[in-house]
Structure 1
């Protein structure tokens, strides 16, 4: 499979190492200094594009891939106000798009576990729920995209929760996400249901970027030849 890497930072280099170890070819490595390779003629050489860039550039990168007829696997967070537009364009142009706030297989199992736990706790008003996420100091967004996904799952299931905040609040309708930035943390997400009697806590801790990168390559392998809008739940059949 021929892959265009859009974004060639630490994550892009880790994805490259895993992809080439699986026998795939990296036909483009695109960063701020090689943005000309995002033109249709260049991109069309790839079977799949894997996009890990910045919130400011992701939207336009994805649309350029659609124009070139190249399926896109996107892991950039912080731009999701434009996600409905991307999905509409994908369907209109009969392209393929897979977005995940986290490609780690373990995290996606954690998502399923979080959703099930929230369903079980929905009828237990004596428990309050809180979240904490810890990442390295170079992470650009807070809370993390993974934390937002977890929060949205909880808000969807727990009565009275209508949104999330990133600062302490006395508003019980808001789920507080406590963000910490500590080097060299790869990523930890903690969900705690607290009562005066006991606590129920689930935690996912990443040890390196390799889990995220391996999942992105797995997603790229899976989406090749498909049309439509997908997520990691589709890839992992969760």
Structure 2
């Protein structure tokens, strides 16, 4: 499999290392926008770029018939446009706020717990996420996904960074050196507290999940999720 890496920060470099270990070839490591690149020899693009470049990178790939795996966050106000471009160009696309197998299991657990807790309004719901200081966006895409899942299964109507109004979910975002990613969902009452937590020990889990998604999407058309890949 011939891969174009869109974005070549720490995640891109980790993907490069693991992809080579799995026998794949990195054709490009692209730090800027990709309009001027010939992608004809590329089998798949893996996008961990920056929010300002992500949409153009993704849609350019669709126009050149290149499947896209994207983990860039902070651009999702244009996600529906990207989906429309994928369909218009008969492309293939997977976006995930987190590609880690463990996190995707955590997502399923989060949905089930929210459904169970919906009958107990005395519990206040909160989310905390901790990442390295180089992370550009806050809250993390993973934390937003967790909040959206809770909203779908409870009476909560929205989320807010670092504080919340009545009926909203507060997401506390912390930035600490050398933390790959920690997410905690808590339910607190005057009597007790329930918590579920995912702690990443390195970037390898995120990177490997993106590579597995890239392998899976070969010869497919449509818009998919990591749930399609893993379950």
Q: Deviations over 1:94-113 (max 9, x none)?
A: 10010000000000000000
1:99 matched to 2:95? The reply is yes
Counterpart position of 1:20:
20
Q: Give the total of aligned pairs.
A: 231
Residue 156 of structure 1 aligns to a residue whose secondary structure is helix
TM norm structure 1: 0.95
Query: For residue 43 of structure 2, what is the aligned residue in structure 1?
Result: 47
Which of 158, 167, 185 lines up with 1:191 in the alignment? 185
CA distance in 2, matches of 1:6, 1:128: 40
Partner of 1:56 in structure 2?
A: 52
Deviations 1:32-52 (A, max 9, x none): 3xx5x5446x21211110011
- Structure-2 separation of matches of 1:224 and 1:38: 23
In structure 2, what is the Cα distance between the partners aligned to 1:69 and 1:189? 35
Paired residue for 2:113? 117
Q: Distance in 2 between matches of 1:164 and 1:173?
A: 9
Q: Name the counterpart of 1:162.
A: 157
C-alpha distance in structure 1 between counterparts of 2:202 and 2:162, whole Å: 27
1:214-225 equivalences in 2 (<5 Å): 214-225=208-219
Among 171, 174, 183, which residue is 1:177 paired with?
A: 171
Contact 1:39 1:64 in 2 (8 A): no
Secondary structure at the residue paired with 2:3? strand
Matched, 1:227 2:221: yes
Whole-Å separation in 1 of the counterparts to 2:81 and 2:13: 29
Structure 1 residue 224 displacement after superposition:
0.9
Give the alignment partner of residue 83 of structure 1, picking from 79, 82, 86: 79
Once residues 118 and 22 of structure 1 are traced to their aligned partners in structure 2, the CA distance between those partners, rounded to angstroms, is 37
Structure 2 unaligned blocks of 5 or more: none
Equivalents in 1 of 2:123, 2:30: separation in Å? 48
**Residue 146 of structure 2 aligns to a residue in which SS?**
helix
| 3-state SS of paired residue (2:52) | coil
| 1:30–1:38 Cα contact (<8 Å) kept | no
Q: CA deviation at 1:142?
A: 0.4
**Partner Cα distance (1:91, 1:124) in 2:** 41
Q: What's 2:144 paired with? A: 148
Tell me the distance in 1 between the aligned counterparts of 2:92 and 2:190.
48
CA contact (8 A) 1:4 1:26 kept: yes
